[in-house]
Structure 1
Amino acid sequence: NSHCAHFSNQIHCEEKKTSNQKETMPSEAESSANLAPAKPPPYFWGDMPEEEYFTSQGVRNTKSYFETPNGKLFTQSFLPLEGEIKGTVYMSHGYASDTSWMFSKICMSYSRWGYAVFAADLLGHGRSDGIRCYMGDMEKVAATSLSFFKHVRTSDPYKHLPAFLFGESMGGLVTLLMYFQSEPETWTGLIFSAPLFVIPEEMKPSRPHLFAYGLLFGLADTWAAMPDNKMIGKAIKDPEKLKIIATNPNRYTGKPRVGTMRELLRKTQYVQENFGRVTIPVLTVHGTADGVTCPSSSKLLYEKASSADKTLKLYEGMYHSLIQGEPDENAEIVLKDMREWIDERVKRYGSAKTV
């Protein structure tokens, strides 16, 4: 698949050295300051206190832990500061990521459009419980986030409003599993950004690798032993944004775990065979130069979904991380399309059935 070809031109983001530095000798204090690595700011936007920043973005943010039988989930809500709430959106982030860093830009965008947004760090990610980035049972990962989303979805302030599931990258796979675990009428629509339904050939673990680890009877399942193929460089086009994403303190930077890769192979195969079970409105978007998830992920869903109302958007030359990692002008194109789609579905379908 030409869309899934390996990228040879990896992104580099070394600091540029200035050529016209003065020849003066630095003081001792300056020397030691220069030797110490610069501490990254506490937030992706810099040093501004959280509440002040969120207010400047037109949203109110709250954080809490949600208890489940599978462990605690770290959850966040993003509500518009003013205006009526049109609907609710339940968001799932991608592999090794979390809801608190650049992913929250997506949450804030939808909130500014008039939606109440709820997001949870997936099990094993961010500030949620679980072995870091281990997803040996993706149905469990999906069910755990779904328990929080349904708790909010059926609560008094929101049960009469249209409700959408949103998933980015591997969060798209988790989102589709959540949909399959729900009564279809629970949700008004599905939104996918570069979903992981088809793994590019060069990202797949080798069969001998998986077979050898399989002989250890599950003992190797949580081992961080699989090649990682430098996913982050293939995902982010904008070098400045790559630097910011790389400083996320909650990001998992170890090698993929054996059980995670095995389960991703199994579950991508499973959803490909079950796309026809999707019956509600769906929007799926992908960059044609995505080196992490195949654009065929979105194309196959679009072709096979049974939904009468389905939309596919492909963005020429864009990478994997369409909103967090593309230059601002590209991210704005994607967000504009998403806004038009969701606003139109709220108008078209009005209030979803009370659940």
Structure 2
Amino acid sequence: MTHPMEVVIDGSKKTVTLGDVERDAKLAQVDGMRSVINKNRIDAIERQISVMQSLENVYVKRMGREAYERQLLHLVNQLPGMLSTGADDKAKYTDEVVEHGYDGVDGDEGPWTEFLDRDDLPRQLRESDGVIIEEGYWINRRGMALMTSTMTPETNDDDDDDGGGNDGSGIRAVVCLCHGYMDNVSFLKRVQFQRFVRRNIAVCMIEYEGHGRSDGINALVPRWENLVEDAHDYFRHVTGEKFPNVRRVFLMGESMGGAVAYDIMSRHRDSYDGAIFAAPMVKILVTPPPFVVALFERIVGHPGTLNALSHLPWAPSRGDMPHLSFKDKDKMRLALMVPTKYGRKPRFATARELLNATRRISSTIHEFDAPFIVLHGLEDMVTDPRMSEMLYNESRSSDKTIKLYRGMYHNLTTGETDENIDIVFNDAISWVTDRSKR
């Protein structure tokens, strides 16, 4: 199957066609538009990079360090989805994205608009059932366009509210979501997180750099602080502008987003009233020895930096992440249909940033004193439930709750059966509601 994709080049839109082959190259713009790279060429490039890495000393002696790194970077930049947007890290199409609603925002036709028109998708993606969903691009400090979404009740009625904690419009609280690695907020979360809204809890969401429809290299986290700063900046912006009278604002973080939410909560304690952690990535169960970490950083670069190898998708992973994350295979099939899915191993820089963040977070858990609830499936094979127990036991918070779910996998909010998802959301909603009355 092929899908038309609109891209903006020199101010004008052009339509190209991409196939479904997982390793087809993404379109990119570097002094014009590169053609789609086929699988055989990708294999050849990766083999050449591997040879240059293994024979680094020989190449450096023959051509010099600078020429070697330049040639390696040239090869890396020919791999799909790895082309950078320039040294200043600006958005590729910022002006066009914001003004014209590129990629289906504000009703313009694009791959997401066409994708959401498919008749084999959940009905709730097209019919929001009393929920107002607003999407748009927000520009971060680095000039990048990041996809955002808010969900609010369509009516102002609040039949089950007892008068505590809402702003008079029926909204009792706001939940700001930090999603997980390789995830997005444009698809299944638009369906499942409506549960919050039907209980008069507004939801704000943002897709990180390199995730979903946001700008950046697909699945690349070049600097952990970018995720934390962008998410907090947007949450403060949207809650101040859209919900100025709502007294209670909570963070929610799933998997990698749990670590993002942890850092935001730790640094901006007065801005949020508590955190919901769903299968949070707060510690790597088996941490590599220090000499391995040092060697890894020598190859990939120190945290927050990029070199010729940082983009390579060769970092070890625990296996088929979708199968490990989704208990409901029908929902997994839906998740793998999205046009922006990333089907390769983690990039080296991303793996380095996640490792560094969790090492730091795990060493500060005993200092964490914010109100929180942690939710974890006991059959989770991606993030270990014992790490959530450690967070609960070691944190010094006086208001903490833990819920462990027998038989549930990693993706608690979009990957379980509907009955299990109801259980998880009911626990989260009850926790938020109780604290919104105080």
- Which range, TM-score by smaller chain? 0.7 to 0.9
Contact 2:172 2:246 in 1 (8 A): no
Contact 2:284 2:359 in 1 (8 A): no
Structure-1 residue corresponding to 2:278: 193
In structure 1, distance between residues paired with 2:314 and 2:294: 10
Counterparts of 1:156-235 in structure 2 under 5 Å? Answer: 157-182=243-268, 184-201=269-286, 211=295, 214-215=298-299, 217=301, 218-228=307-317, 229-235=319-325
TM-score (norm 2): 0.65
Counterparts of 1:1-355 in structure 2 under 5 Å? Answer: 42=116, 46=120, 52-54=126-128, 56=129, 58-70=130-142, 71-82=144-155, 83=157, 84-155=170-241, 157-182=243-268, 184-201=269-286, 211=295, 214-215=298-299, 217=301, 218-228=307-317, 229-347=319-437, 349=438
Letter in 2 for 1:63: E
Letter in 1 for 2:244: Y
Pick closer, same or farther for the CA change 1:94–1:339 going to 2, 3 Å.
same
| SS at structure 1 position matched to 2:116 | coil
Letter in 1 for 2:133: N
**Could you list the runs of 5+ residues in structure 2 that have no partner in the other structure?**
1-113, 158-169, 302-306
Following superposition, the deviation at residue 294 of structure 1 comes to 0.8
Letter in 2 for 1:81: E
Q: Deviations over 1:305-332 (max 9, x none)?
A: 2221100000012110112111111111
Pick closer, same or farther for the CA change 1:206–1:258 going to 2, 3 Å.
farther
Pick closer, same or farther for the CA change 1:212–1:286 going to 2, 3 Å.
closer
Q: Deviations over 1:269-306 (max 9, x none)?
A: 11111123332210100001100001122112111222
Following superposition, the deviation at residue 60 of structure 1 comes to 0.2
Following superposition, the deviation at residue 43 of structure 1 comes to 6.2
Following superposition, the deviation at residue 158 of structure 1 comes to 2.7
In structure 2, distance between residues paired with 1:318 and 1:43: 31
Pick closer, same or farther for the CA change 1:308–1:199 going to 2, 3 Å.
same
Pick closer, same or farther for the CA change 1:244–1:98 going to 2, 3 Å.
same
Contact 2:116 2:126 in 1 (8 A): no
Contact 2:175 2:251 in 1 (8 A): yes
Structure-2 residue corresponding to 1:29: none
In structure 1, distance between residues paired with 2:249 and 2:367: 19
| SS at structure 1 position matched to 2:282 | coil
Q: Deviations over 1:30-60 (max 9, x none)?
A: xxxxxxxxxx963698468888511x2x200
In structure 1, distance between residues paired with 2:312 and 2:178: 24
How large is the RMSD of aligned CA atoms in angstroms? Answer: 2.6
Q: Deviations over 1:116-143 (max 9, x none)?
A: 1110001110111122111131112110
- State the identity %: 30
| SS at structure 1 position matched to 2:277 | strand
Pick closer, same or farther for the CA change 1:123–1:207 going to 2, 3 Å.
farther
Q: Deviations over 1:74-127 (max 9, x none)?
A: 100000112300011101111101001112234311111101111000111011
In structure 2, distance between residues paired with 1:318 and 1:49: 25
In structure 2, distance between residues paired with 1:125 and 1:346: 31
Q: Deviations over 1:140-162 (max 9, x none)?
A: 21101111101123336335420
| SS at structure 2 position matched to 1:103 | helix
Letter in 2 for 1:53: E
Determine which structure has more spread, i.e. the larger CA radius of gyration.
2
Q: What count of residue pairs does the alignment treat as equivalent?
A: 305
In structure 2, distance between residues paired with 1:288 and 1:44: 35
Runs of 4+ in 1 over 2 A off after TM superposition: 40-52, 103-107, 153-160, 198-201, 203-219, 276-280
In structure 2, distance between residues paired with 1:300 and 1:200: 11
**Could you list the runs of 5+ residues in structure 1 that have no partner in the other structure?**
1-39, 350-355
In structure 1, distance between residues paired with 2:289 and 2:426: 36
In structure 1, distance between residues paired with 2:291 and 2:431: 40
